[in-house]
Amino acid sequence: MNDMTIEPGTALTAPFIRQMVVQLRAMDSYGTYDNWSDEKVLDPMILTKERRREIPVIGDPDEVVVARIKAYYNAIAVRVEQESGLMAVPMINLSHEGFGRALVMVGKLVVIDKSLRDVHRFGFDTVEKLDTEAEKLVARALTTIEKYRAAAED
Amino acid sequence: MNDMTIEPGTALTAPFIRQMVVQLRAMDSYGTYDNWSDEKVLDPMILTKERRREIPVIGDPDEVVVARIKAYYNAIAVRVEQESGLMAVPMINLSHEGFGRALVMVGKLVVIDKSLRDVHRFGFDTVEKLDTEAEKLVARALTTIEKYRAAAED
């Protein structure tokens, strides 16, 4: 596959993007990614209009997509931890049909709670979009922690 | 199977036990339980020493056991709702090996958070034990709600 959407040499320096690459590599238990560049590891997270058109509207998520979603929420949890100094725990529930729920918990507090649907089409238009949408969730999580700090520290 | 552990005619009037029966019947999508007494529906939740001895120490949980665990936490969530007047949402995550986590959330608050293991051996010594252990979780959930009411109402 040589049709990468991320230009080789793109600076992948944003904290979330770096963490996203770390989490994707962590899911790669067979070492397939060992010789891959960060761009290549991250590339399947990007769904351009052309790529999206190739994915059926209705479909079941395969293992690879599910691993990608787990990596995404793991990376968000790590970012929440880095910014708050409190342990953040992700939890994903997915049906075989690709519906479900993603949580991130800090102490007794649910700081992220997202409904998941059509996860076989999970992806982002660009690397920037991936970063800004994730950081929006992180920022909202930090606001929730500030608001209910005692529950987050319990 | 005529080796029931719950005596026919046992009063199953405790609020949790009644809810447990409701939830078990709700899982029975094929109508198998339609002609069963409440005692018979509830009976597999009770694992006497003899029954426990017949279950291998290591094993994978089958669908029926998983449904039972879901029914248990659904019933706990309903009891929390009845007592607090706030919506309680259960969420179960289970691996194929029978390890996982059970949550009940009220608003942004995690009011029950239990590690699950060896779920193929899930059960209680007696009906009383089933009731008192569940109500202990409910009571603890209500204390947590009182402590962090704003997060629970968010």
Q: What is the pLDDT of residues B82-140, one digit of tens each?
A: 999 999 999 999 988 888 999 999 999 999 999 999 898 999 999 999 999 999 999 99
Close Cβ partners of B35 (under 8 Å, ≥ 6 residues apart): none
Residues 99-138 in B contacting A (C-alpha not used; CB under 8 Å)? 101, 103, 105, 108-111, 113
Disruptive mutation site among B66, B99, B108 for chain A (greatest number of A CBs within 10 Å): B108
Distance separating alpha carbons of residues B107 and A141, to the nearest angstrom = 14
Are the C-beta atoms of residues A25 and A45 closer than 8 Å to each other? no
Distance separating alpha carbons of residues A89 and B119, to the nearest angstrom = 22
The pLDDT mean for chain A works out to: 93
Task: Give the CA diameter of chain A.
Answer: 50
* Per-residue pLDDT reduced to its tens digit, B34-76: 999 999 999 999 999 899 898 888 888 888 899 999 999 999 9
Assign A104 to helix, strand or coil.
Answer: strand
Is it true that domain A15-153 has CATH number 1.10.3100.20?
A: yes
Disruptive mutation site among B110, B116, B146, B149 for chain A (greatest number of A CBs within 10 Å): B110
What beta strand segments (E) does B14-149 contain? Answer: 88-94, 100-106, 109-116
Residue type, A122: F
Check B110 against A113: CB less than 8 A apart: no
Residue A132 has a pLDDT of: 97
With 70 as the cut, is the pLDDT of residue A2 above it?
no
Close Cβ partners of B112 (under 8 Å, ≥ 6 residues apart): B73, B76, B80, B102, B103, B104, B137, B140, B141
Residue B61 has a pLDDT of: 82
Instruction: Provide the shortest C-alpha distance from residue B101 to chain A (in Å).
Output: 9
* Per-residue pLDDT reduced to its tens digit, A119-153: 889 999 999 999 999 999 999 999 999 999 999 99
Residue B2 has a pLDDT of: 53
Of B86, B85, B82, B114, which Cα lies nearest the Cα of B100?
A: B114
Residue A42 has a pLDDT of: 96
With 60 as the cut, is the pLDDT of residue B1 above it?
no
B144 contact residues in A (CB cutoff 8 A)? 108
CB nearest B91 (choices: A93, A147, A150): A93
Close Cβ partners of A39 (under 8 Å, ≥ 6 residues apart): A4, A6, A7, A8, A9, A10, A12
Interface pTM, i.e. ipTM:
0.86
Of B105, B106, B21, B34, which Cα lies nearest the Cα of B71?
A: B21
With 60 as the cut, is the pLDDT of residue A1 above it?
no
Check B144 against A113: CB less than 8 A apart: no
Residue A138 has a pLDDT of: 98
Higher pLDDT, A104 or A49: A104
- Average pLDDT of the residues in A87-107: 93
Instruction: Provide the shortest C-alpha distance from residue A136 to chain B (in Å).
Output: 18
Q: Where are the alpha helices (DSSP H) in chain A?
A: 15-26, 38-42, 49-54, 63-84, 127-147, 149-152
Residue B93 has a pLDDT of: 92
